[in-house]
Structure 1
Amino acid sequence: MTVRIENQTCFFTTEGGEYIRLCPDVTIVTDSAKAMSAVDIEGHRVYITEAEADALTVAGAIDGRRHLKATDGDSVI
């Protein structure tokens, strides 16, 4: 999956095709089960890297991510 940003327009290229959205219309969420950032587009969850999430927020996307806290005793966090 790739994210491309041009003039506050986001292009999400997936195996199923390309989704195009204005960055201010995109909300980045945290999928706690996978511990990854994602965006929901047309009922599809598109997973993105943290670098892509940061770039989207700079371009105007809504940052709805939340920090996950490790609860396992072996965690380095």
Structure 2
Amino acid sequence: MSVRIENQTCFFITESGEEIRLAADVTILTDSEKSMSAVDLDGQRVYITEAEADALTVAGAVDGRRHLKVTDSDSVI
């Protein structure tokens, strides 16, 4: 798990160590190329699971995720 939440404070594990943010200062986004949710921390993208994204929104983060649509007719989705 790349994120831990305690009392509306978020602790993110990044390549350079631990980043701490208030939940209200975090915006969850969708990386359409990877079809994953992520947060940007000072220019560094941290990918998170949908469960982590949902937990962040409950803690007060801004939910900026987008639903992606399949464009290929032979897709299994």
**TM-score category (smaller protein):** over 0.9
Q: Mapping of 1:1-77 within 5 angstroms?
A: 2-77=2-77
Across the aligned residues of Structure 1 and Structure 2, the Cα RMSD in angstroms comes to 1.0
Identity of aligned residues (%): 81
1:76 Cα deviation (Å)? 3.0
Structure-1 separation of matches of 2:64 and 2:76 = 25
**1:33 alignment partner AA:** E
The CA deviation at 1:15 is: 2.8
User: What SS does the corresponding residue of 1:37 show, helix, strand or coil?
Assistant: strand
Deviation, structure 1 residue 73 = 1.2
| SS of alignment partner, residue 18 of structure 2 | strand
**TM-score when normalising by structure 2:** 0.94
The whole-number CA distance in structure 1 between the counterparts of 2:26 and 2:9 is 10
**Partners of 2:75 and 2:7 in 1: CA distance:** 40
- Counterpart secondary structure, 1:66: coil
Q: Which runs of 5+ in 1 are unaligned?
A: none
- Cα deviations by residue, 1:1-51 (Å, 9 ceiling, x for unpaired): 511000000000123211100000000000001100000001101110100
Task: List structure 1 segments (4+ residues) > 2 angstroms apart after TM superposition.
Answer: none
Q: Which amino acid aligns with 1:73?
A: S
